[in-house]
Structure 1
Amino acid sequence: MFSPSQEDVRRFFCAVHAKTRAGAPMDALETLASQWIAEHPEYHADLADVEAAVARAYDGADGRTNPFLHLSMHLSISEQCSIDQPRGIRQAVELLAARRDSLHEAHHEAMECLGRMLWESQRAGRPPDGQAYIDCVQRRATGD
């Protein structure tokens, strides 16, 4: 299983941003990442300086979101939906996107559910509960 380091992830997103600005060819994952980067112009300055991005501590102390975590979660949810894993996530996100009239906003809400599921898993020392994650997204999609 591929397990990139924090530095690898930051370098990846910075490289994608640089390729996008240069009009360079990209593979499928880079293309998907570039689409999410385009949705977040507030992160472009963070992505423009690779060494500063690698060195910076995004601990929330300054009130800013970690752009690399945020973009990684967009990629994770996109991949989950493309393979429908955990089963049912594609439909739940599609329903939420229809309700919000925005895939981007649906992703942000799914991120809250994903983050909660991971936090609860770590806190309890048990595997992530994919069904709880999907249930959370579905509740947001149906208003229940």
Structure 2
Amino acid sequence: MNQPTCTVNVSRKFQATAESVFDAWLDPKQAGRFLFVTPAGVMKKVEIDARVGGKFCIVETRDGVDADHEGEYLEIERPRFLRFSFGGKPFPATYVALTITQDESGSALHLVHEGVWLEYETSVIQGWTGILENLGLVLANR
């Protein structure tokens, strides 16, 4: 399966501190409200071992089928940087890096997803954009 790949970049600003944005990614309660959540899905499992070498597993049931999202934390530098592998059958692992910066009006998150199969570029951009929109709602309603 030698597929052509690309790198996806998505950014969003939040009216929240960099610490709040960062911590949401590693807190199972918050992550279960925005990470890989779809409007009609039902969150089944959120397991996060928030340490370098730790793994995460988030499963949402969609139309009776479990959508598994798994990976391993590779770098954790609170509150500015998080990098993890991301993949699951039948796809090979890809890599996601989050860079979070603080400014006077809140914070900004820049997400880079490397190794995305080119044919999925548009849907991956849409997926991460939706996840960041959901994160904004979670942060606004804490």
TM-score above 0.5: no
Q: Would you tell me which structure has more strand in proportion to its own residues?
A: 2
Compare relative contact order (CA 8 Å, sep 6+) and give the higher one, 1 or 2.
Answer: 2
Query: TM-score, normalization: structure 1?
Result: 0.24
TM-score (norm: length of structure 2): 0.25
